[in-house]
Structure 1
Amino acid sequence: MNKALFLDRDGVLNELVYYADTDSRDAPRHPDDVQLRPGVRQALRTASDHGWLIFVISNQPDAAKKKTTRAALDAVHARLLDELQGAPIAEFFYCFHRSEDRCVCRKPKPFFVLEAAKKYDLDLTQSWFVGDVDTDMECGRRAGCRTALLEYEPSASKRGRERPDLVCRDLDHFVRSVVTS
């Protein structure tokens, strides 16, 4: 069985972006807004070199909320891939629903984690879910993974209920603490 890193996207791989229309920091809505967080590319490569399969699981409801279009979200994803410069991500899983849609795939439900586990023969007890908010921690816990919370300041208001197994500054710190130790 394989071990995996499940990563949230926004606040873990890339920076959140301030938008005046909502007076808040949110997921990038346009390709030009995509900016990787420091050390992400190397952290992903290091984890892969140490035998970890890497997955991105992210809620992306902005098109459903009419904040942007699905085409713009696809362009954001394409830009993210360009910025990652071939970093080894096995698969991206996106939920495009709003929370009120009550779908099966939106975090904190572990649907995509469990799908990846079946498809890639993953041992979830040896896997980690890394995120910056409580829904990420709950998703990982419900799937049977260990959890790591990244202390990303723009996400501070969306955490506090869940108790992660580990708290790290950023993805690079997590990889140095867990993957290479």
Structure 2
Amino acid sequence: MNKKKAIFLDRDGILNRNRDDYVKDISELEIFPNIENFIKKLQASGFLIIVVSNQSAINRGLTTHSNVDEIHASIQAYLNKFGANIDNFYYCPHTPAENCTCRKPKPGLLIKAIDDFSIDPLSSWMVGDRDSDVDAGESVGCKTIKIQENSCDFENILKTILS
């Protein structure tokens, strides 16, 4: 079977503005400008686009699975207007104290996506704004890029990945 290549993206701070008090519902969602062009260029180069995100606000009682699903649907609807899309959203609802296998820096979310989509991690990238994103990507064999939170540094990311 042909293995696919993917770009794994953290959500908050990469696709949308991160908030110190978490993005808890769509009223707090601020999608970065030009994210659609970034994603379209990656898709045109044959990459799947997979979001892998820690969403501990759920188990902290600050938001719900339903709210997170609504946020993801809103991001998808925005991207769809421009002919771009996320192939899937994976998220971990657990707090650090729960010591699960899916919360980054552990690789559970990436492993699930790799299995679900038959992804070759050695041909794939993890893009995030925290060491935990880089650690998760490296643990499955992905190349990694760490950017400054909320920087919208899409052109430099594209240059690195597509060069």
Higher relative contact order (CA 8 A, sep 6+): 2
Q: Which residue of 2 aligns with 1:140?
A: 137
Distance in 2 (alpha carbons) for counterparts of 1:12 and 1:5: 12
Within a 5 Å distance, the mapping from 1:1-181 to structure 2 comes to: 1-17=3-19, 25-85=20-80, 87-152=84-149, 170-179=153-162, 181=163
Q: Secondary structure at the match of 2:12?
A: coil
In the TM superposition, residue 153 of structure 1 has moved relative to its aligned partner by 5.8
- What's 1:162 paired with? none
Whole-Å Cα distance in 2 between the matches of residues 114 and 69 of structure 1? Answer: 24
Q: What do the CA deviations read for 1:70-129 (whole angstroms, capped 9, x no partner)?
A: 333232222222222352221110111111111121111111212222222221111100
RMSD of aligned alpha carbons: 1.8
Q: Deviations over 1:142-168 (max 9, x none)?
A: 1111100112268xxxxxxxxxxxxxx
Contact persistence 1:152–1:170 (CA under 8 A) = no
Partner letter of residue 2 of structure 1? K
Q: Using structure 1 for the length normalisation, give the TM-score.
A: 0.80
Give TM-score scaled by structure 2 length.
0.88
**Cα separation, partners in 2 of 1:3 and 1:49, compared to 1, 3 Å:** same
2:76 touches 2:85 (CA, 8 Å); kept in 1?
Answer: no
- Whether contact under 8 Å (2:54, 2:103) holds in the other structure is yes
Answer yes or no: is the 8 Å Cα contact 2:17–2:150 preserved in 1: no
Q: Please report how far the alpha carbon of residue 26 of structure 1 lies from its aligned counterpart in structure 2 after TM superposition.
A: 4.2
Q: Flag structure 2 segments of 5+ consecutive residues without an equivalent.
A: none
Secondary structure of the equivalent of 1:68?
Answer: coil
- SS of 1:57's partner is strand
Query: Counterpart of 1:164?
Result: none
1-structure distance, mates of 2:62, 2:137:
28
| Conserved? CA contact 1:40–1:172, under 8 Å | no
- Tell me how far apart the structure 2 counterparts of residues 170 and 26 of structure 1 sit (CA, whole Å): 23
The one-letter amino acid paired with 2:153 is D
Contiguous gaps of at least 5 residues in structure 1: 18-24, 155-168
Partner SS state of residue 89, structure 1: coil
